[in-house]
Amino acid sequence: MKIKLLILVSGSVLALTACNKHDEVTTNAADTNVAMDNSLETNMTAEAGPMTAQGFANAAAASDRFEIESSKLAAGSAKSAAVKSFAAKMISAHTASTAKLKSTASAMNPPVTPDDTLTTDQQSTLDSLKGKTGADFDTAYAAAQVGAHQKALDALKNYSASGDNPTLKTFADGLIPTVTAHLNMAKGLK
């Protein structure tokens, strides 16, 4: 009796396991397509795991571009002098960061060419900022800067710890203090 029950239970477990494997394969195939469409956004998160050199260079370039473009909007749309001052610093700092990234990436063997295409999230935030002025812009811009700098800091720390290229790991590590300072300044914007 015990053997028949054991065989019955084992058979049921095997059948259920086989069914679940089929569901996992179907789900994973669908998830792969979504993941490929959102690869740049995935590269901006620390939870994504180790990034490739190209993925990191693209994420860093897109981050710089977002900072520059959103900060240029602040020149005409911000009300607060503190926001305008912060924006001017971001344009200067992220322009320099882009130049350093391009120089570092082109000197690698093999060289990497950063792609600064904005993520869907970055483009959406930028489009949202374009419709705001005055105090509304200031509030939205400050929130966008906190979010963008936090994502950039997470990506830098992630790549610095587990990236696949020593030259870019050093680049990422060197930017962590600067991005941390920018994040703290963004948090102080009112």
50 vs 46: CA distance, rounded Å: 8
pLDDT of residue 98: 96
Residue type, 144: A
- Which sign does the torsion angle of CA 56, 62, 66, 69 carry? positive
Is 26 or 106 the better-scoring residue by pLDDT? 106
CA–CA distances in Å: residue 13 to residues 17, 20, 22, 84: 6, 11, 14, 64
Give pLDDT tens digits for 17-51.
334 334 433 333 333 333 333 333 434 443 444 58
101 vs 114: CA distance, rounded Å: 8
Find the mean pLDDT for residues 54-83.
Answer: 96
Half-sphere exposure of 130 (CA within 13 A, CB side): 8
pLDDT of residue 2: 41
pLDDT of residue 50: 56
Least confident of 32-36, 90-94, 119-123, 178-182: 32-36
Percentage of the chain exceeding pLDDT 70 = 73
**C-alpha closest to that of 76 among 138, 147, 145, 140:** 138
Reduced to 3 states, what is the DSSP secondary structure of residue 78?
strand
Is the CATH number 3.40.50.2000 carried by domain 52-188?
no
Domain edges within the chain: 1-38, 52-188
Find the mean pLDDT for residues 41-62.
Answer: 71
CA angle 188, 147, 30 (to 5 degrees): 170
Give pLDDT tens digits for 128-173.
999 999 999 999 999 999 999 999 999 999 999 999 999 999 999 9
**C-alpha closest to that of 146 among 56, 86, 69, 76:** 86
User: In this structure, how many other beta carbons lie within 10 angstroms of the beta carbon of residue 30?
Assistant: 9
